[in-house]
A and B are shown apart, each in its own frame.
Chain A
Amino acid sequence: MFRTCGVSVVGPYHDESGLPSQDALGIFGGRKGKVLIVSDGMGSKQKSRLGARTAIKSVRKVLFGPEVPTSRELIQNIYRDWLDNLPEGHPSNFGCTLLFALIQADGRATLAQLGDGVIIYKAGKQFNVLTPVKVNFGNQTVGLGISKLWADWHVEEVFLQSPGDGVILMTDGISDDLHPEKIEKFFNTISASLRKTNKRIVQAQLQEQLRNWPTQGHSDDKTIAVISRD
């Protein structure tokens, strides 16, 4: 059995400015399995909040829609649906990152990412980071409405076959402040909590942690989605 939870909190910058969070989160279950989706509207883009929310809907619609033969086609369909559902204006005004995971009942999973944030996972008890190591700097990202390059996407098919296997998606408001050498332990702690504790308690605790984030001067919205296999 797979357990899921997700939390999104508005960051101090938006909170103090009276603005809503630009992050969006979706966790859904359906015939095909479970879907986790995280999107971060780009701060400099006026309508990026709407872009992020539209991205959640598009991913859900396409992933629970008809099968497509390749990941590239899947992502193309998501992108097209996103473009079709934007209101008037250039797509770059709605620029946002996109991270998603589709986990089928038997454990087969598709993980995909465009832009900042991090996807970490354990498959067959082996820990991995989908996201390439960041070479450049914060606030340097591509996203929906910004990049059309297939090469900007990071996609993997994995098999969550063992107890403790799972996936965590995070926006960069969280991932940029994690000690890189402790990220596996971070995964294990949250994943174990989800398997052993009531989901509502885990969500409440995560929310408290994200609201009281210890990094000095942190400003960004923070969103995390977790799935773990019993």
Chain B
Amino acid sequence: MGFAKYFEDDQSRLYNATPIEKRQQDRLKGLADQQQNKHAEANLTNEKKEKNSMKKLKEFVISEPRAIPVIIIADASGSMNEDGKIEALNHSIRDMIKSFSEEARVRAEIRVGMISFSGESAKTHLPLAPANKILDVQPLAAAGGTPMGKAFDLARELIEDKEQIDSRAYKPVLILVSDGQPTDDWEKSFDSLCKSERAQKATRFALAIGNDADEEMLKKFGNDPESPFFRAHQARDIHRFFRAVTMSIGAQTKSMTPGVNGGLLLASAEASDDLDLDF
């Protein structure tokens, strides 16, 4: 008879000691294994469930791309009939929309809308829609006066409409094209546009066509620090302007910061609300 080695456990010492012990040990071992398998299966099921629930994170995420709204405010007054201006404008806008719809590998969806103003009113000539879904644009027909203020009101209302432009969208781009002097109370409407919480964030470009355009007003409209005031003397200048705007917006859609054309604006502050910092 020998002594059990010190590192043997009870089970191994007793195991095989007698046939009865062996059978009992095997039975207990079998039960223990069954229990272990049940636990393992339950854990696997729980893990699978959690994996499935994490997979379902997709259900919380919006699949549509974010949008850059581009709104053209087009002068369709009677003077635009002269020297091929309205034709050049119509062609340029069609080319711009076509170019946007052909953009590949973009990080934002470009949506285009157009507000026209002529006679004594302004209207939505083209409702805001993804560029690649705009099949055709009705050409602008020029007639009557230059109610630019009414166009500003419509533009402000469009930007403030959160169903048309949600807060996921990048800041809108407004493009104003005019060859004349406004014939309505445009200043009040422009002031409202600049004071609107959403509309004031829009990037604004302005194109003056010909020598009769209100340069002072159009310079005031444009707010992009990196884009100078534009003036078109000939139809081809209108094309150049729109090509430049198209490229600029197209570049933004591929960039890290779509909707950012210039530097961020510093918030102005009341001295008493400032944190005490040295910069």
* Partner-B contacts on A (CB < 8 A): 13-14, 42-44, 72, 75-76, 79-80, 83, 90-92, 95, 133-142, 145-152, 176-179, 182-183, 185-186, 189-190, 192-193, 196-198, 201-202, 205-206, 209, 213-220
On whether the beta carbons of B257 and A135 are closer than 8 Å, the reply is: no
Residues of B contacting A140 with CB < 8 Å? 171, 201
On whether the beta carbons of B197 and A177 are closer than 8 Å, the reply is: no
Q: Cβ of B133 < 8 Å from any Cβ of A? A: no
The 6 A-B pairs with the shortest beta carbon distances in the complex, nearest first, are A217-B65, A205-B54, A134-B167, A219-B107, A186-B60, A43-B256
Residues of A contacting B217 with CB < 8 Å? none
A-B CB contact pairs (8 Å), 11 listed = A72-B275, A75-B275, A136-B171, A137-B201, A138-B167, A148-B269, A177-B66, A182-B59, A216-B109, A217-B107, A218-B65
**Known contacts A13-B107, A138-B168, A217-B109: A196-B46 contact under CB 8 Å:** yes
Q: Cβ of B61 < 8 Å from any Cβ of A? A: yes
* Segment among B2-10, B77-85, B258-266 that sits at the interface with chain A: B258-266
On whether the beta carbons of A189 and B56 are closer than 8 Å, the reply is: yes
Which of A83, A146, A152, A176 has a CB less than 8 Å from the CB of B66? A176
Task: Point out which of A76, A137, A179, A216 has the most chain B C-beta atoms below 10 A from its C-beta.
Answer: A137
Residues of B contacting A136 with CB < 8 Å? 167, 171, 197-198, 201
On whether the beta carbons of B266 and A146 are closer than 8 Å, the reply is: yes
On whether the beta carbons of A135 and B65 are closer than 8 Å, the reply is: no
On whether the beta carbons of A147 and B53 are closer than 8 Å, the reply is: no
Extra contacts, 7 of them, besides A150-B273, A177-B66 (Cβ < 8 A), are: A90-B279, A92-B264, A138-B170, A139-B171, A201-B50, A202-B54, A205-B54
Bound complex: CA A116 to CA B61 (Å): 18
Which of A145, A185, A202 has a CB less than 8 Å from the CB of B60? A185
Within 8 A of A (CB), among B37-89: 46-47, 50-51, 53-66
Residues of B contacting A206 with CB < 8 Å? 54
**Known contacts A136-B197, A146-B266: A76-B276 contact under CB 8 Å:** yes
**Known contacts A44-B257, A189-B56: A178-B170 contact under CB 8 Å:** no
Residues of A contacting B258 with CB < 8 Å? 138-139
Bound complex: CA A214 to CA B108 (Å): 14
**Known contacts A135-B198, A136-B171, A137-B198: A44-B107 contact under CB 8 Å:** no
Q: Cβ of B169 < 8 Å from any Cβ of A? A: yes
Bound complex: CA A113 to CA B114 (Å): 38
**Known contacts A95-B264, A146-B266, A150-B273: A193-B279 contact under CB 8 Å:** no
Q: Cβ of B106 < 8 Å from any Cβ of A? A: yes
Main secondary structure of the interface of B (DSSP, over half): loop
Q: Cβ of B274 < 8 Å from any Cβ of A? A: yes
On whether the beta carbons of A139 and B267 are closer than 8 Å, the reply is: no
Which of A92, A186, A220 has a CB less than 8 Å from the CB of B57? A186
Bound complex: CA A134 to CA B165 (Å): 12
Chain A residue at minimal CB-CB distance from B256 = A43
Question: What is the CB-to-nearest-CB distance from A148 to chain B, in angstroms, rounded to a whole number?
Answer: 5
On whether the beta carbons of B259 and A139 are closer than 8 Å, the reply is: yes
On whether the beta carbons of A217 and B267 are closer than 8 Å, the reply is: no
Bound complex: CA A134 to CA B197 (Å): 11
Bound complex: CA A79 to CA B62 (Å): 34
Question: What is the CB-to-nearest-CB distance from A170 to chain B, in angstroms, rounded to a whole number?
Answer: 12
On whether the beta carbons of B275 and A135 are closer than 8 Å, the reply is: no
Question: What is the CB-to-nearest-CB distance from B274 to chain A, in angstroms, rounded to a whole number?
Answer: 5
Chain A residue at minimal CB-CB distance from B197 = A135
**Known contacts A44-B264, A137-B259, A186-B57: A214-B275 contact under CB 8 Å:** no
Bound complex: CA A217 to CA B182 (Å): 40
Residues of B contacting A197 with CB < 8 Å? 46-47, 50
Residues of B contacting A142 with CB < 8 Å? 267
Question: What is the CB-to-nearest-CB distance from B59 to chain A, in angstroms, rounded to a whole number?
Answer: 7
Which of A135, A179, A190, A193 has a CB less than 8 Å from the CB of B167? A135
Q: Cβ of B20 < 8 Å from any Cβ of A? A: no
Question: What is the CB-to-nearest-CB distance from A123 to chain B, in angstroms, rounded to a whole number?
Answer: 21
Residues of A contacting B50 with CB < 8 Å? 193, 196-197, 201-202, 205
Q: Cβ of B136 < 8 Å from any Cβ of A? A: no
Bound complex: CA A121 to CA B107 (Å): 30
On whether the beta carbons of A149 and B273 are closer than 8 Å, the reply is: yes
Q: Cβ of B278 < 8 Å from any Cβ of A? A: yes
Bound complex: CA A190 to CA B53 (Å): 9
Task: Point out which of B55, B65, B256, B259 has the most chain A C-beta atoms below 10 A from its C-beta.
Answer: B256
Residues of B contacting A177 with CB < 8 Å? 61-62, 66, 168
On whether the beta carbons of B54 and A182 are closer than 8 Å, the reply is: no
Within 8 A of A (CB), among B217-274: 255-260, 263-264, 266-267, 269, 273-274
